[in-house]
Amino acid sequence: MNIRRKRKRNLIIPINSMSDIAFLLLIFIMLISLINYRKEIKIDYPEAEFQEVTQADKNLEIWIDREGSIFYNGEIIALKALEGIIAEAVARDPEIRIHILADRNTRYKHVDGVFEILKLLQHRVVSLVVKDEQAL
């Protein structure tokens, strides 16, 4: 009886393609990290004596700069367009919190335009965002 032993094959791992895989993973991670990028407008935050911390995942942020320009997702937007965005967001989730981030030197008449829209839509879950003392 002739029994033959199986020869072990030398397994070769192609190292050349490892760098390609690492490069593709790096690109994938960079793209995913940009999805959650929050576009911020440079403003000087107002201060307050009492602060309440809210959930960041369930809010709609409206930025108002010193000159009264209104921003949504980092882009300047008109009040009429803002009304449609807020109405759509409230229709999707009635408990959504509107965050108004206005510069400390913004005239009240610019912020009042946003409040008028919220009154018209009868939405009362609104926060005025102020400087976080703990972050300093």
Residue 134 gets which letter from DSSP? G
Q: What is the pTM of this model?
A: 0.60
Residue 35 lies in a domain: no
106: domain range?
59-135
pLDDT of residue 45: 66
Cα 101 to Cα 38, 66, 77, distances in angstroms: 13, 11, 15
List the 70-72 sheet strands across, edge first: 75-76, 70-72, 59-64, 97-102, 126-128
State the total domains in the chain.
Answer: 1
pLDDT above 90: percentage of residues in the chain: 10
pLDDT digits (tens, 9 = 90+) for 61-90: 898 988 889 999 888 999 899 999 999 998
Residue 22 lies in a domain: no
The CATH number of the domain holding residue 83 is 3.30.420.270
Positions of the chain with pLDDT under 70: 1, 35-39, 44-57, 131-136
Residue 110 lies in a domain: yes
Residue 124 lies in a domain: yes
